[in-house]
């Protein structure tokens, strides 16, 4: 297929595809799906080999968020029967993180619900970061605390944070359809603050909320311009008790096409399969490893994930290897600045002139959504909704039960 040959060539050169090419990937037929995976897999292996980075979530504070993001089980007015608790103490958070690190994770993502941290909250998280790093010398720590105020990113960096997650969620033109309590511009500003403080920026999206292909391409091209080092791709977990509980718009095939499109647009960044992979990819999860080079291990913020042992077996059975702490995740040209995710001047898949660019629980503000009022036809899902695969987390952080890792 000429399209795929062109996209592979561009990916190996870190050249931006056209919008038409990105849309064409999403429009490919199921009969061509393995060809799409094969092509995007060439780009993935060129930049990341067969390594899979493992990340582990610790929900520092669960539920009772004042924001009204439609997709989120922790939102204002949510009737989802999730765990609700206030801040974990530093030792409690470090103990929770240890389970994921023992399972092979090299990055711990510290997440707290809410609009954004107070200065006191930053002090709490800073102490938690220091505690985790004292007990685990080589661990990467990513914070995800919502919208940042001036100076807070610098304080987190000084405490030892390596990265900051704040997702764009969806395209700018449809953002107001899913959230009214903050704006798309607020999110962009927080990613800029993380960059300016020397933190590795992590920003992604969520699919499956009724968005159009145009919405998906818009948000991924916007991410490329923002130049994050990692792009988590979440797939909506339709929690009962949230406004989007009836949105079952994804098939495993569509999830794979979305991941392939993200890989072609941002070929040399860490593409992470985040929340919802178990619900929507199901038995097709191993194929997704040919597209993404990073996953979350075990459970998410408020929902259960695949057993950690099953994650590790899946990686090995698919012919991949867990990335060790002795390896730098990013390609040399992006990691040249040092640290766990420093980006070079070329940016996310860009050539020099071009610039660059968890509900489903990958963190506060990590869910993305599609615009309800998009213009293109929304693909119909096949089969019945798999509500049996949506399980509220009842173990790990905030409970007396052992975590899943």
8-state DSSP, 182:
S
CB 48 within 8 A of CB 293: yes
Give yes or no: 72 in active site. Answer: yes
Give yes or no: 272 in active site. Answer: yes
Q: Which of 107, 142, 266, 393 is labelled catalytic?
A: 142
Q: Which of 44, 157, 272, 277 is labelled catalytic?
A: 272
| Three-class SS state of 147 | coil
Q: Which of 44, 72, 157, 356 is labelled catalytic?
A: 72
Q: Which of 14, 44, 109, 263 is labelled catalytic?
A: 109
Q: Which of 65, 266, 348, 364 is labelled catalytic?
A: 65
CB 168 within 8 A of CB 188: yes
Distance CA 249, CA 228 (A): 27
Distance CA 149, CA 30 (A): 45
Q: Which of 44, 69, 107, 263 is labelled catalytic?
A: 69
CB 395 within 8 A of CB 231: no
Closest CA to 296 of 50, 52, 54: 54
Backbone torsions φ then ψ of 235, nearest 5 degrees = -115, 125
Give yes or no: 65 in active site. Answer: yes
Q: Which of 14, 124, 202, 356 is labelled catalytic?
A: 202
| Three-class SS state of 337 | coil
Rg of the chain in Å (alpha carbons) = 19
**CA contacts within 13 A on the Cβ side of 172:** 8
Give yes or no: 142 in active site. Answer: yes
CA angle 74–371–222, rounded 5-degree value: 95
* Residues designated as active site: 65, 69, 72, 109, 142, 202, 272
């Amino acid at each position: 297929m000429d399209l795929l040959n062109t996209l592979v060539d561009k990916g190996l050169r870190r050249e931006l595809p056209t919008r038409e090419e990105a849309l064409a990937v999403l429009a490919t037929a199921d009969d061509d799906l393995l060809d799409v995976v094969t092509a995007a897999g060439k780009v993935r292996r060129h930049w990341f080999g067969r390594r899979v980075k493992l990340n582990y979530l610790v929900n520092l504070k669960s539920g009772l968020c004042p924001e009204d993001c439609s997709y989120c089980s922790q939102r204002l007015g949510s009737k989802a029967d999730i765990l609700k608790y206030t801040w974990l103490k530093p030792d409690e958070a470090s103990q929770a993180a240890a389970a994921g690190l023992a399972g092979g994770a090299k990055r711990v993502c510290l997440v707290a619900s809410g609009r954004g941290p107070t200065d006191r909250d930053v002090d709490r998280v800073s102490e938690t970061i220091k505690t985790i790093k004292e007990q685990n010398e080589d661990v990467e720590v990513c914070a995800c605390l919502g919208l940042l105020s001036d100076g807070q990113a610098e304080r987190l960096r000084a405490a030892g944070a390596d990265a900051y997650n704040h997702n764009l969620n969806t395209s700018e033109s449809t953002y107001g359809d899913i959230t009214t309590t903050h704006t798309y511009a607020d999110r962009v500003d927080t990613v800029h603050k993380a960059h300016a403080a020397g933190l590795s920026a992590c920003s992604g999206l969520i699919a499956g909320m009724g968005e159009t292909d145009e919405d998906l391409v818009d948000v991924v091209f916007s991410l490329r311009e923002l130049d994050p080092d990692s792009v988590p791709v979440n797939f909506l977990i339709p929690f009962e008790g949230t406004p989007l509980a009836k949105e079952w718009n994804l098939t495993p095939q569509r999830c794979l096409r979305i991941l392939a499109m993200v890989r072609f647009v941002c070929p040399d960044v860490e593409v992470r399969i985040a929340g919802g992979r178990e619900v929507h990819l199901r038995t097709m999860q191993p194929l997704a490893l040919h597209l993404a080079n990073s996953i979350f291990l075990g459970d998410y913020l408020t929902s259960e994930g695949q057993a950690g042992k099953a994650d590790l077996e899946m990686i090995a059975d698919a012919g991949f290897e867990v990335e060790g702490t002795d390896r730098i995740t990013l390609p040399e040209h992006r990691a040249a600045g040092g640290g766990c995710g420093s980006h070079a001047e070329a940016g996310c898949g860009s050539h020099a002139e071009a610039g660059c660019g968890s509900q489903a629980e990958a963190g506060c503000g990590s869910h993305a959504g599609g615009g309800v009022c998009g213009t293109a036809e929304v693909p119909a899902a096949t089969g019945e909704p798999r509500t049996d695969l949506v399980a509220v987390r009842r173990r790990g952080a905030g409970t007396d039960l052992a975590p899943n890792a």
